[in-house]
């Protein structure tokens, strides 16, 4: 047994008072007259024995009563483990998990409501002078300080569910840093109120600190079935008018039940565009394809929806894309070559691809950003100024198609290629060699051939270039010669891409322009040259989003406006390079489609979706939680798995041990009653 206020034990000296009174009473004598003194001897003997016993009982009652009262004021207790505080000054940090999973129902109602009640019970069960701080997944600045009981209770009442999630180790580190500033050796308690989902409860990553006491308080949650939209992607990276789209959607079933014919609806510009249905077995995922055509050009605001309860935040996935009326392509050549007419014929009378032909000596550099693709058709040299502009063009999302000349200034070409980290040209090779490998699965040849087994007689080249292989630059080989050297390779550079041919078209012994591959290869390069659009960003995973709008055309502030709620916010510019601007994604932004504009001029749309970690329910049981705590080496720890209405008493026992002062107060009253009974009912001698 220990005492919370041991200084009160000095009051045990008050026991001397009834002892002194007893001794004084023994010195008092009364004279009794008897008519017959022959009976006096026997009476005196009996009376003295009874009187002495009565006085001893009264004295004992008084001593025990005073001792019990003093012990009650000293607050005796039995320690409940090794977590009892040894100081009156205490501080407590309370983490309340307010992630999406806390919207689930449990035996005590909604989990977030239960968490708030438990937090309030912790505050009410703690000592009066305890200071508190509150932490949530929002990391609010107002929580980054200590409060008294009344102040912290108001903060607890205002906590609401958020889409943000934090690893519990991050929360623990924040709590520890706050506690370290107090320079206390003990009396520091951390409380974790959560449903303890496995993906966030990384207790094994906690930073150990023997001055801290860890209290884990589970919130009861009923297991709930959940369907959610995991992701989506377009089969074609670019979109044009009249195109037949295929939108792939992956749906996950996180329940133990099978689902049959679940409707999947796709809305474009708030109108139902197409729908499908999907059947999903328990604990599995299925992919469905939404097929439709692009009938209108311009910005397309989309969302995919399913219906599933009670978890609803993951039933909608927002996305957007742009359908272009046409694609502008530039054919850039020093002078018309023998194959120029072949290239022009590919795009003649095409309603979608608009081909413009320019000579390098007459090119207006300022016009380059208006093109989606630029074909460099065998110039003898590429000037340094043009090389710089072409690099910027690729950086900003353009597609560059390089067709080398038969005789060219190697250094001028290589300056352009090396600036984009692409292998440079080496010496020409005049030994005739056929193309040995055609990558049928490449997007350039989607729907071009009936199957991978279709045999296509591949062309042969008499004149080609080899490449310097000093740099190990990854590329996507589309055509490969029989000796495994590159014939046509796709390279990515920043936001754009470069198609690099290893052979000139105009050599008389190179028959590529007359081959069946020529038209689909060149046409699909131009067709797919529009900047690949990111359909959506994931909040908390993606850090930035970008625009290629020229900053010089906007002098005002960039804004984001939620198309559904009308909420507006100003994103922070993270990086600005040429025509590209990168903005930081606000961590507290809501999911939805956002119009992106400046000075009322629409520059595009951005779609944001929530992370789906909270959609895959997997909780620690009490035994698993204890195992994680032991593995983390948290010696001073408790798992407090009690109902909210009993939590205050449990916390009080953890803070101060098993309280005994009430029992000692009852003992004092008992001995007071014993004394009164002896005085009242014991006959006077």
**Residue 441 pLDDT class (50, 70, 90 cuts):** confident
| pLDDT computed for residue 236 by the predictor | 81
Domains 227-324 and 537-609 share a fold: yes
Q: What is the pLDDT of residues 41-66, one digit of tens each?
A: 555 555 666 677 777 888 888 888 88
| pLDDT computed for residue 223 by the predictor | 80
Cβ within 8 Å of residue 146, ≥6 positions away = 91, 131, 132, 133, 178
Q: What is the pLDDT of residues 641-673, one digit of tens each?
A: 888 777 877 777 666 556 676 788 888 888 888
| pLDDT computed for residue 333 by the predictor | 93
Q: What is the pLDDT of residues 493-509, one digit of tens each?
A: 887 899 999 999 998 88
Strands (E), 334-430: 353-359, 373-377, 399-403, 425-429
Q: What is the pLDDT of residues 9-28, one digit of tens each?
A: 888 888 888 788 777 766 55
Q: In the CATH scheme, what architecture does the domain 227-324 have?
A: Sandwich (2.60)
Q: In the CATH scheme, what architecture does the domain 327-527 have?
A: 3-Layer(aba) Sandwich (3.40)
In three-state form (DSSP H/G/I as H, E/B as E, the rest C), the secondary structure along 186-224 is CCEEEEEEECCECCCCCHHHCCCCCCEEEEEEECCCCCC
Which of the two residues, 237 and 634, has the higher pLDDT score? 634
Which of 190, 171, 174, 160 minimizes the C-alpha distance to 98?
Answer: 160
CA distance 405 to 506: 8
In three-state form (DSSP H/G/I as H, E/B as E, the rest C), the secondary structure along 531-595 is CCCCCCEEECCECEEEECCCHHHCCCCEEEEECCCCCEECCEEEEEECCEEEEECCCCCCCEEEE
Place of tokens 């891409």: 497
Provide the CB-side half-sphere exposure for 228 (13 A, CA).
Answer: 22
Q: What is the pLDDT of residues 388-399, one digit of tens each?
A: 999 999 988 899
- Cα angle at 282 between 276 and 286, to 5 degrees? 35
537-609 has which fold? Immunoglobulin-like (2.60.40)
Q: In the CATH scheme, what architecture does the domain 91-223+620-656 have?
A: 3-Layer(aba) Sandwich (3.40)
Q: How many CB atoms lie within 10 A of CB 254?
A: 21
Strands (E), 281-393: 284-293, 298-305, 316-323, 327-333, 353-359, 373-377
| pLDDT computed for residue 2 by the predictor | 65
Judged against a pLDDT cut of 80, whether residue 184 lies above it is answered with: no
Share of the chain above pLDDT 90, in %: 43
CA distance 487 to 437: 9
Q: How many CB atoms lie within 10 A of CB 274?
A: 16
Q: What is the pLDDT of residues 328-347, one digit of tens each?
A: 999 999 988 888 999 999 99
Average pLDDT over residues 132-160: 89
Q: What is the pLDDT of residues 164-177, one digit of tens each?
A: 888 999 999 988 88
Average pLDDT over residues 269-292: 94
Average pLDDT over residues 209-230: 89
Q: How many CB atoms lie within 10 A of CB 61?
A: 21
Instruction: Look at residue 249 and give its three-state secondary structure.
Output: strand
Q: What is the pLDDT of residues 572-612, one digit of tens each?
A: 887 776 556 788 998 889 999 999 887 756 778 999 999 99
Judged against a pLDDT cut of 60, whether residue 350 lies above it is answered with: yes
400-414, 441-455, 666-680, range with greatest mean pLDDT: 400-414
231-240, 247-256, 599-608, range with greatest mean pLDDT: 247-256
Average pLDDT over residues 142-167: 89
Which of 77, 222, 214, 221 minimizes the C-alpha distance to 640?
Answer: 214
Instruction: Share the mean pLDDT of the chain.
Output: 85
Give the pair of three-digit tokens for residue 29: 């004598």
CA distance 230 to 253: 10
Share of the chain above pLDDT 70, in %: 87
Q: Packing angle between helix 661-681 and helix 40-73, nearest 10 degrees?
A: 160
| pLDDT computed for residue 550 by the predictor | 46
Strands 460-461 and 464-467 come out as: unpaired
Q: Is the pTM of this model over 0.85?
A: no
CA distance 676 to 685: 17
Place of tokens 């102040």: 151
CA distance 440 to 430: 27
**Ranges 72-86, 428-442, 470-484, 587-601: which has the least confidence:** 72-86
Cβ within 8 Å of residue 5, ≥6 positions away = 73, 74, 75
| pLDDT computed for residue 48 by the predictor | 65
**Residue 452 pLDDT class (50, 70, 90 cuts):** low
Which of 238, 584, 231 minimizes the C-alpha distance to 397?
Answer: 238
CA distance 55 to 47: 12
Provide the CB-side half-sphere exposure for 138 (13 A, CA).
Answer: 15
Q: Residue 75: left if φ>0, alpha if ψ -120 to 50, beta else—which one?
A: left
Phi, psi of 470 (to 5 degrees): -65, -35
CA distance 165 to 155: 19
Q: What is the pLDDT of residues 73-114, one digit of tens each?
A: 877 766 554 444 444 568 889 999 999 989 888 888 899 999
Strand partners, 106: 109
| pLDDT computed for residue 552 by the predictor | 46
For the chain, the first-to-last Cα distance in angstroms comes to 42
Cβ within 8 Å of residue 482, ≥6 positions away = 433, 434, 435, 436
Instruction: Look at residue 637 and give its three-state secondary structure.
Output: strand
- For residue 344, the surrounding DSSP H or E stretch is helix 340-347
Write down the domain spans for the chain: 2-79+661-681, 91-223+620-656, 227-324, 327-527, 537-609
Which of 292, 355, 296 minimizes the C-alpha distance to 325?
Answer: 296
Average pLDDT over residues 305-319: 91
Cβ within 8 Å of residue 416, ≥6 positions away = 382, 387, 390, 391, 402
631-668 in b/e form (b: 16+ CB < 10 A) is ebebebbbbbebebeebbebbbbbbbbebbbeebeebb
- Taken as a whole, the chain contains a residue count of 685
**Residue 100 in contact with residue 174, Cβ under 8 Å?**
no
Average pLDDT over residues 622-647: 87
CA distance 102 to 113: 9
Place of tokens 């009066």: 128
Average pLDDT over residues 263-286: 94
């Amino acid at each position: 047994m220990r005492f919370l206020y041991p200084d009160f034990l000095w009051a045990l000296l008050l026991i001397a008072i009834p002892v002194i009174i007893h001794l004084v009473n023994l010195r008092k004598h009364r004279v009794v007259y008897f008519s017959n003194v022959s009976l006096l001897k026997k009476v005196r003997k009996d009376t003295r024995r009874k009187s002495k016993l009565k006085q001893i009982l009264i004295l004992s009652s008084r001593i025990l009563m005073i001792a019990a009262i003093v012990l009650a004021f000293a607050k005796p207790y039995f320690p409940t483990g090794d977590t009892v505080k040894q100081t009156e000054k205490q501080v407590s940090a309370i983490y309340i998990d307010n992630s999406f999973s806390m919207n689930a129902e449990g035996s005590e109602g909604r989990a977030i409501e239960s968490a708030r009640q438990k937090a309030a019970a912790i505050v009410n069960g703690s000592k009066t002078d305890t200071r508190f701080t509150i932490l949530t997944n929002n990391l609010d600045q107002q929580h980054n300080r200590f409060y008294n009981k009344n102040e912290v209770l108001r903060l607890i009442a205002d906590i609401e569910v958020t889409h943000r999630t934090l690893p519990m180790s991050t929360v623990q580190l924040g709590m520890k840093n706050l506690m370290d500033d107090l320079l206390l050796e003990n009396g520091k308690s951390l409380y974790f109120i959560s449903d303890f989902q496995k993906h966030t409860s990384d207790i094994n990553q906690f930073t150990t600190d023997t001055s801290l006491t860890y209290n884990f308080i589970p919130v009861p949650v009923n297991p709930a079935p959940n369907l959610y939209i995991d992701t989506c992607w377009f089969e074609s990276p670019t979109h044009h008018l009249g195109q037949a789209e295929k939108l792939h959607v992956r749906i996950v079933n996180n329940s133990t039940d099978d689902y049959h014919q679940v409707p999947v609806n796709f809305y474009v510009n708030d109108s139902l565009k197409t729908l499908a249905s999907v059947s999903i077995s328990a604990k599995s995922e299925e992919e469905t394809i939404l097929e439709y055509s692009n009938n209108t050009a311009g910005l397309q605001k989309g969302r995919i929806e399913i219906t599933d309860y009670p978890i609803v935040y993951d039933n909608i996935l927002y996305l957007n894309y742009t359908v272009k009326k046409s694609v502008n392509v530039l054919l850039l050549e020093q002078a018309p070559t023998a194959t120029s007419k072949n290239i022009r014929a590919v795009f003649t009378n095409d309603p979608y691809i608009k081909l413009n032909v320019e000579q390098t000596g007459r090119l207006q550099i300022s016009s380059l950003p208006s093109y989606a693709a630029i074909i460099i058709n065998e110039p003898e040299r590429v000037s340094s100024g043009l090389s710089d502009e072409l690099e910027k063009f690729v950086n900003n999302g353009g597609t560059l198609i390089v067709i080398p000349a038969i005789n060219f200034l190697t250094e001028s070409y290589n300056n352009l290629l090396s600036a984009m980290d692409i292998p440079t040209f080496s010496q020409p090779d005049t030994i005739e060699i056929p193309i040995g490998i055609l990558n049928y699965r490449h997007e350039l040849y989607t729907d071009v051939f009936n199957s991978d087994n279709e045999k296509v007689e591949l062309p042969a080249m008499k004149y080609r270039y080899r490449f310097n292989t000093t740099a190990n630059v990854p590329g996507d080989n589309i055509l490969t010669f029989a000796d495994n050297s590159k014939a046509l390779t796709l390279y990515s550079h920043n936001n754009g891409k470069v198609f690099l041919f290893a052979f000139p078209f105009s050599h008389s012994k190179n028959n590529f322009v007359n081959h069946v591959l020529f038209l689909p290869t060149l046409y699909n390069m131009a067709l797919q040259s529009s900047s690949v659009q990111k359909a959506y960003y994931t909040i908390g995973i993606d850090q930035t989003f970008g625009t290629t709008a020229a900053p010089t055309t906007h002098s005002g502030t960039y804004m984001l406006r939620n198309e559904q709620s009308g909420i507006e916010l100003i994103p922070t510019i993270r990086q600005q390079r040429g025509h590209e601007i990168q903005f930081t994604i606000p961590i507290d932004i809501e999911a939805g489609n956002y119009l992106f504009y400046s000075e009322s001029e629409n520059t595009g749309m951005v779609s944001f979706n929530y992370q789906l970690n909270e959609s895959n329910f997997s909780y620690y049981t009490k035994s698993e939680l204890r195992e994680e705590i032991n593995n983390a080496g948290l010696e001073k720890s408790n798992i407090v798995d009690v109902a909210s209405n009993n939590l205050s008493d449990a916390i009080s026992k953890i803070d101060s041990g098993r309280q005994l002062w009430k029992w000692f107060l009852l003992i004092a009253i008992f001995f007071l009653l014993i004394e009164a009974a002896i005085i009242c009912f014991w006959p006077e001698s």
